Structure 1
Amino acid sequence: MNINPIVKIPAEEQATNALREFIVSGQIPQGTRITEAVLSEKLNLSRSTVRTALHLLTREGLVRLKPYSGWMITMLTEKDIWELCTLRSAIERLGARLAAEFIDTDNNSEKLQLAFKHFTQTCASNDYATIAESDLGLHEVIIGISGNRRLQEQYDLIKRQTLLFIRSSNDLIPDSGEILNQHKPIVEAILSGDIELAGRLSEEHNIEEGKKLISSIAL
């Protein structure tokens, strides 16, 4: 009989995971002011537990504590978008180049094809929250097969903010099939081992999406 043991998850971790999901999914919109008291009541957790979760989310860039105003869900500004866009484009460009270089080692081709297959399926679902998670997952696989551990560590530092960026930019695209089409050439270039093309397409994708997102909030 195979019975998996019950894993106890600390309340702080549960609160952090729940709040992160609410933020990234858009259930709590960007710029929303939140209080420990209300969240404590909604989540049925102590205020100290909620406070710990909020402090953890500030490290991820999803929540900010403003003097005299309290807690607020991060609202991506033009500067935030520009910083994330340029940083992502640099990291993902290098990741795509290295992934293309090492695509024929360690079953990397199979890993990428599997991730893209999953991404294709989620894009067909038209569930933008799930698509954003799968979108990030695809980029994580590309960074992962680059073989550069330190590059992966740097990507992990901006992963949650990147997810917020992806969700915000994807929301501007009415046809989820277009999201898939944006990534297909990048994946094909990596699978073909075209180092220069993979890097260039990855960088261009990030820059273009950043420009669109900045334009949308400037309206």
Structure 2
Amino acid sequence: MDALRPVPRTLLRDRAYLAIRDAIVSGEIEAGAVVRDGELAARLGLSRAPVRDAFARLVDEGLLESKPQSYTRVTPVVAADVRDAAAVVGAMHELAVRTAVPRLSAADLDGMRAANERFAEAVGAGDVDAALRADDALHDVLVRVGGNRAAAATVARYTPLIRRLERRRFGEGGNCRSAGLHERLIAACADGDVTGAVRVTAEIWRGLVDLAYPDRPRPREQP
């Protein structure tokens, strides 16, 4: 994994943001690490200005914390923050599902099935990066088709906070989200069952609370 490599000189602020964000989420830049704009600018082949812009955005999103004239560092992974982010992101996914299910095309459903196949293969191989990319691809179909830009922006903003904990738990031997849950979601979508699709989506995102609080008793699943 080497997210911090030189980037093309187009959309420099956004590219710097994505590179640094991905390095934090992957653990390439560890929690608690102090980051310096000059060092990262050199590694990315950029000037300091887009890196500073990226820092400001990452502070706003909770991945960095900054004390003026002192330091900028990666925030710790805090279970309560992940819980709050999962609640918000889950609600946005449920909203997207309600709108998207009646609009899904055969090609959209095929894309979700293909993503779930990649997900299952990655989980079986223990490839966390590939599993999370496939998971994103599956759910992104619903967010895209749902067409709610505010919901999409909220998902994009808060998902990285969740991914940090997912990667840590999986690295400790925890379980990835179930491909079976994805299959149930796809089946409900294919049947045009909005209520069923929302129910499965809620179940998927409740599972992230279990990642944040692995010792908390799970509620009994509804039939």
TM bracket, shorter-chain basis: 0.7 to 0.9
Q: Quick one: which amino acid aligns to residue 144 of structure 2?
A: G
Matched, 1:159 2:156: yes
Using the TM superposition, give the Cα deviation of residue 202 of structure 1 relative to its aligned residue in structure 2, in angstroms. 0.9
Residue aligning to 1:34: 35
Distance in 2 separating the partners of 1:106 and 1:181: 20
The 5 Å alignment of 1:8-87 reads 8-67=9-68, 69-87=70-88
Matched, 1:204 2:194: no
Identity of aligned residues (%): 23
Distance in 2 separating the partners of 1:40 and 1:8: 12
CA change 1:126–1:58 in 2 (3 A) is same
Using the TM superposition, give the Cα deviation of residue 206 of structure 1 relative to its aligned residue in structure 2, in angstroms. 1.0
Distance in 2 separating the partners of 1:107 and 1:191: 11
CA change 1:169–1:175 in 2 (3 A) is closer
The 5 Å alignment of 1:163-202 reads 163-173=160-170, 174=173, 179-202=178-201
Residue aligning to 2:219: none
Residue aligning to 1:98: 99
Distance in 2 separating the partners of 1:169 and 1:203: 17
Residue aligning to 2:144: 144
2:73 aligned counterpart, secondary structure: strand
Q: What is the CA deviation profile of residues 36-92 of structure 1, one whole-angstrom value per residue up to 9, with x for unaligned ones?
A: 243234434433342122123334443232356421223342332232121122111
Structure 1: give runs of 5+ residues left out of the alignment. 1-6
Alignment check: 8 A CA contact 1:170 1:179 kept:
no
Equivalenced residue count is: 206
CA change 1:48–1:158 in 2 (3 A) is same
CA change 1:210–1:66 in 2 (3 A) is farther
Higher relative contact order at CA 8 Å, sep ≥6: structure 1 or structure 2?
1
Structure 2: give runs of 5+ residues left out of the alignment. 1-7, 216-223
Q: Quick one: which amino acid aligns to residue 191 of structure 2?
A: S
Alignment check: 8 A CA contact 2:165 2:211 kept:
no
Alignment check: 8 A CA contact 2:32 2:74 kept:
yes
Residue aligning to 1:4: none
Residue aligning to 2:130: 130
Distance in 2 separating the partners of 1:182 and 1:29: 31
TM-score, normalised relative to structure 2:
0.74
Distance in 2 separating the partners of 1:159 and 1:10: 18
CA change 1:177–1:215 in 2 (3 A) is closer
TM-score, normalised relative to structure 1:
0.75
Distance in 2 separating the partners of 1:14 and 1:203: 32
Using the TM superposition, give the Cα deviation of residue 141 of structure 1 relative to its aligned residue in structure 2, in angstroms. 1.0
